[in-house]
Chain A
């Protein structure tokens, strides 16, 4: 089709406009569904579901066509390098998304909660709720009637009880899986396809165990600990940080599952496996976020 040194520019494509249409439906669907929450009869969710169908459908076709074009040899080394840069900067943008939530957690822990508790010179800060005592986690909120705090928190229970603490097992799963995907990649590069496939299966199994344990932890939080989204700033930061991380783990696990299925179907060669490599970077990224998250959300 083309020499190795050419740059492939598709002549035109219907994919982007359909994706933009899917996103338009998503904005309308998500907006109306959320605004209609609590209403008796609302069909807005149909719009939202349709938007997901369109978005996922277009993504499927889009990725398929990229894979096909690559298999036909239309991509040069330079274009592959563009994909590498693209994925790297995408992960950077994800890092910055989490940064916003870490910033929020840092700000409330370092500034706003102590100020609410009356810390600081010339403090006019403790006027609204004089009884409030600044502690972290905030178990009794300043306005505890309207924002009832949690009964228990998720903090580390002490070294001796580690085995009873779900985040410990979660950390184990995720850190191990970061290692196993590295082994999978190394096996692929050496052409050991059987080992590659086995390590991929181990990796995604660990990923889904993580998601399951996280779900279990949320169930415990809601059912037995009074720890909910509405449980003041502790519940807020706990669920938003772990929740967005968990959502990214789900995405990563789906990506790796697709890569595994493709691997079983004979895709990827020793030198050409960018889809897998990108998925693996993403997986390392969620692993690093988790380690930071365990430190600031659960331990310190």
Chain B
């Protein structure tokens, strides 16, 4: 089998085009993966800067730096950017780089669509950021944009927000269709579904979740648009609708969405732990089934985000038990990671450190999630900093650490250069300490009753908030170090070998570092033991 890209017309076979058009017109999964990753890196600093504003305001009680209105805009856009502009694009970038190389495919199944999926994002986030300079200011109703805050009391820029969400959703759907099609249709001969690398499995299921729920989000913002501008009554009780309906639709999207932001992390961490334990992953099959069960359960737990809204008791109980059920497959995963490490020949390079920190700290986030799942207790925790602590534990030392781990792990493969191990470890320890300094005390102030999304607080929370702010500034600065480590590796790094890591398994490690612009133009035959691209 030979691919056209390798074909014999010389004008069609060359490396990347020169200049900016390489990035504008590219159809190459590696280029598009890099675009996604750099985009998400830039957005990390923008969203992070907003977090810094939030923490500066909360450094001391009282109104300090920004107005409450601007504070609301910061909270909202910090959330929107981190969710839709950082974590999701970073995972899509990793999917682009890795899935074709891991399954032995020449590229993504639909390369032009792939490029479109990426370039929609700068457009959408450009508009979102531009709303800061428009009349009425940026969206200020929280990343969950509950009606009627986002409908009757919203600034006029909500209309731009709605359409930006629409095209972001279109981007995610197109990207996911591409991923699913690639995985289902482009695997090398001999790679059966149950032989796929776990990162590929996690993305197959993530892509399914995305296609299932992004259209529901589109439906929700469409209803908002109609209520705001065209007189409908979806979320207006006076007309027979219900603001709570918004929450149901939003969280029907939102809960699978939070798993969209963690499932690929499970795949990444599985690869890193098996590499640095020099053992194959413990319980591969159960890992796959666990991801699938988590994904399916995510469709029937959404109302645990809204226990306090006034639901019938049967609803509270159903959503409480179904939520607690998720602890089982998640526990399977955590114990499988531990069992993989058990009696392994462990070494602690930077990716492994981040992966181990992921397992430990994500579990903390998971356990606080179990506390929140208990409906009667949730009435106490709801809308406090305890919730903020919970979801930041799963998203920062969870999702974000897994992305950072993935970058350290695969950077030598992508660029052909090793990063500086000492600097990488420094980055890890700074991040590890500061992330806990930032988010752990939030549990305490939350349990003591400090409400979230408020620019001021009572005196008794002052000490902890100061610690949190110091931790947050340190964490923010540590990520500048990450940027430095990445740039240093690209420009001054030592040459990496093709294998890179002694214990690494998988097709991508059979390629050169960096891999050729087009790889696996002829699919490797796994059954024949042939894996060189």
CA distance A120 to B312 in the complex (A): 8
Q: Which of A23-31, A188-196, A209-217, A271-279 is near enough to bind chain B?
A: A23-31
> What residues of chain A lie closer than 8 Å to B126, measured between beta carbons?
24
CA distance A235 to B358 in the complex (A): 50
Q: Out of A27, A96, A228, A230, which one reaches B163, CB within 8 Å?
A: A27
A41 within 8 A of B: no
B529 within 8 A of A: no
Q: A12-B21, A85-B184, A89-B181 are in contact. Are A17 and B119 (CB under 8 A)?
A: yes
Chain B window 152-185, contacts with chain A (Cβ cutoff 8 Å), 1 for yes, 0 for no: 0000100110111011001001001110111011
- Asked whether, in the complex, the Cβ of A86 is within 8 Å of the Cβ of B110, the reply is yes
CA distance A85 to B518 in the complex (A): 24
A37 within 8 A of B: yes
Task: Looking at the assembled complex, report how far the CB atom of B251 sits from the nearest CB atom of chain A, in whole angstroms.
Answer: 11
Within 8 A of B (CB), among A35-67: 35, 37, 62
B25 within 8 A of A: yes
- The total of Cβ contacts below 8 Å across the A-B interface reads 246
Task: Looking at the assembled complex, report how far the CB atom of A164 sits from the nearest CB atom of chain B, in whole angstroms.
Answer: 27
Task: Looking at the assembled complex, report how far the CB atom of B422 sits from the nearest CB atom of chain A, in whole angstroms.
Answer: 40
B17 within 8 A of A: yes
Number of contacting residues on B, CB 8 A?
84
Within 8 A of B (CB), among A84-108: 85-86, 89-90, 92-94, 96-97, 99-101, 103-104, 107-108
- Asked whether, in the complex, the Cβ of B123 is within 8 Å of the Cβ of A35, the reply is no
> What residues of chain B lie closer than 8 Å to A232, measured between beta carbons?
233, 239-240
B226 within 8 A of A: yes
A181 within 8 A of B: no
Chain A window 9-34, contacts with chain B (Cβ cutoff 8 Å), 1 for yes, 0 for no: 11111111101110110111011001
B234 within 8 A of A: yes
> What residues of chain A lie closer than 8 Å to B462, measured between beta carbons?
none
Q: Out of A21, A86, A112, which one reaches B244, CB within 8 Å?
A: A112
CA distance A192 to B243 in the complex (A): 56
Number of contacting residues on A, CB 8 A?
75
Q: A9-B4, A17-B119, A20-B123 are in contact. Are A85 and B181 (CB under 8 A)?
A: yes
Chain B window 1-31, contacts with chain A (Cβ cutoff 8 Å), 1 for yes, 0 for no: 1111101000010000100011011111000
CA distance A77 to B197 in the complex (A): 25
A282 within 8 A of B: no
A7 within 8 A of B: yes
Task: Looking at the assembled complex, report how far the CB atom of B231 sits from the nearest CB atom of chain A, in whole angstroms.
Answer: 4
Task: Looking at the assembled complex, report how far the CB atom of B437 sits from the nearest CB atom of chain A, in whole angstroms.
Answer: 39
> What residues of chain A lie closer than 8 Å to B215, measured between beta carbons?
93-94, 96-97, 99-100
CA distance A143 to B241 in the complex (A): 11
B223 within 8 A of A: yes
> What residues of chain B lie closer than 8 Å to A19, measured between beta carbons?
116, 119
Task: Looking at the assembled complex, report how far the CB atom of A115 sits from the nearest CB atom of chain B, in whole angstroms.
Answer: 8
CA distance A146 to B185 in the complex (A): 55
B470 within 8 A of A: no
> Which one of A9, A24, A74, A107 has the highest number of Cβ atoms from chain B below 10 Å of its Cβ?
A9
- Asked whether, in the complex, the Cβ of A14 is within 8 Å of the Cβ of B239, the reply is no
CA distance A252 to B408 in the complex (A): 47
Specify the chain B residue showing the minimal Cβ separation from A28: B127
B531 within 8 A of A: no
Q: Out of B27, B177, B184, B216, which one reaches A9, CB within 8 Å?
A: B27
Q: A23-B167, A112-B245 are in contact. Are A85 and B185 (CB under 8 A)?
A: yes
- Asked whether, in the complex, the Cβ of B219 is within 8 Å of the Cβ of A100, the reply is yes
CA distance A255 to B11 in the complex (A): 35
- Asked whether, in the complex, the Cβ of B109 is within 8 Å of the Cβ of A17, the reply is no
CA distance A83 to B156 in the complex (A): 40
- Asked whether, in the complex, the Cβ of B245 is within 8 Å of the Cβ of A104, the reply is yes
Q: Out of A12, A62, A112, which one reaches B26, CB within 8 Å?
A: A12
Q: Which of B41-49, B206-214, B273-281, B388-396 is near enough to bind chain A?
A: B206-214
Q: A26-B163, A236-B232 are in contact. Are A82 and B110 (CB under 8 A)?
A: yes
Q: A9-B107, A85-B181, A229-B226 are in contact. Are A35 and B156 (CB under 8 A)?
A: yes
B85 within 8 A of A: no
Task: Looking at the assembled complex, report how far the CB atom of B22 sits from the nearest CB atom of chain A, in whole angstroms.
Answer: 8
A234 within 8 A of B: yes
CA distance A89 to B339 in the complex (A): 37
Task: Looking at the assembled complex, report how far the CB atom of A241 sits from the nearest CB atom of chain B, in whole angstroms.
Answer: 11
- Asked whether, in the complex, the Cβ of B25 is within 8 Å of the Cβ of A12, the reply is yes
Task: Looking at the assembled complex, report how far the CB atom of B236 sits from the nearest CB atom of chain A, in whole angstroms.
Answer: 7
Specify the chain A residue showing the minimal Cβ separation from B522: A6
> What residues of chain B lie closer than 8 Å to A168, measured between beta carbons?
none
Chain A window 253-294, contacts with chain B (Cβ cutoff 8 Å), 1 for yes, 0 for no: 000000000000000000000000000000000000000000
> What residues of chain B lie closer than 8 Å to A120, measured between beta carbons?
312
- Asked whether, in the complex, the Cβ of A229 is within 8 Å of the Cβ of B4, the reply is no
Within 8 A of B (CB), among A215-247: 228-230, 232-236, 239-240
Q: A7-B106, A20-B120 are in contact. Are A108 and B211 (CB under 8 A)?
A: no
> What residues of chain B lie closer than 8 Å to A142, measured between beta carbons?
237-240
- Asked whether, in the complex, the Cβ of A100 is within 8 Å of the Cβ of B4, the reply is no
- Asked whether, in the complex, the Cβ of B111 is within 8 Å of the Cβ of A236, the reply is no
A2 within 8 A of B: yes
Specify the chain B residue showing the minimal Cβ separation from A147: B239
CA distance A79 to B106 in the complex (A): 12
- Asked whether, in the complex, the Cβ of B240 is within 8 Å of the Cβ of A108, the reply is yes
> What residues of chain A lie closer than 8 Å to B248, measured between beta carbons?
103, 107
CA distance A91 to B269 in the complex (A): 33
Q: Out of B17, B177, B214, which one reaches A86, CB within 8 Å?
A: B177
Would you list 21 pairs from A and B whose C-beta atoms are within 8 A, ordered by A residue?
A2-B7, A12-B22, A16-B115, A20-B120, A20-B123, A23-B167, A24-B123, A26-B163, A86-B109, A86-B113, A86-B181, A96-B211, A97-B218, A100-B218, A111-B242, A112-B242, A142-B240, A229-B230, A229-B232, A236-B232, A236-B239
Binding site for A on B (CB under 8 A): 1-5, 7, 12, 17, 21-22, 24-28, 105-107, 109-113, 115-116, 119-120, 122-124, 126-127, 156, 159-160, 162-164, 166-167, 170, 173, 176-178, 180-182, 184-186, 211-216, 218-220, 222-223, 225-226, 229-234, 236-242, 244-245, 248-249, 252, 312, 518
Besides the known contacts A10-B112, A104-B245, A141-B238, 5 further A-B residue pairs in the complex with CB atoms under 8 A apart: A6-B4, A6-B7, A13-B112, A85-B177, A115-B242
